[in-house]
Structure 1
Amino acid sequence: MKRLGLGLLLGIIGTVLTAIAIWLTVTYTGAYNIAASAQHTDAVRWTLDTTMRRSVERRAGDVVLPESFPDESHR
């Protein structure tokens, strides 16, 4: 029973280390095209969109809105 637990633990650690190695390889080699002219994969699009929305939500509470906005003709 101990061997099964140890094997499972080593398998999990190996999987995590492999995922990190792949992530770092893609990041540092520039293998993924992040150009705005190219469509992102669904997972990347979801990650970027979720990160942007959560970041704005977290910081929007500190923003003080003006009572009114200047008229465009006064510029």
Structure 2
Amino acid sequence: MNFLWSLFMRKPALRQFALLDAQGRCQAFKECNQPPVGNGWVEIDEIRLSWMHRPLPARARVSPRPAQSSRHQPLAA
């Protein structure tokens, strides 16, 4: 039965991240639902292997997302 429900459930979208060293060069990539734990991870719009061990292009970065509250806020006050 769980299998049937999984067919209709929407899967969370995966986000892409790059690990940057002190000079801003890409050292690793990761694709996951939540930001990785640790310093140096930045969210990017896509993973390109040609960026490995090179500076990450500024256009590749995704602007930070606002923190989502666990409560729903009213639409009108």
Bigger radius of gyration among the two: 1
Question: Relative contact order (alpha carbons < 8 A, sep ≥ 6): 1 or 2 greater?
Answer: 2
Q: Into which bin does the TM-score normalised by the smaller protein fall?
A: under 0.3
> Whose strand proportion is higher, 1 or 2?
2
Q: TM-score, normalised by structure 2?
A: 0.21
Q: TM-score, normalised on structure 1?
A: 0.22
Q: Which has the higher helix share?
A: 1
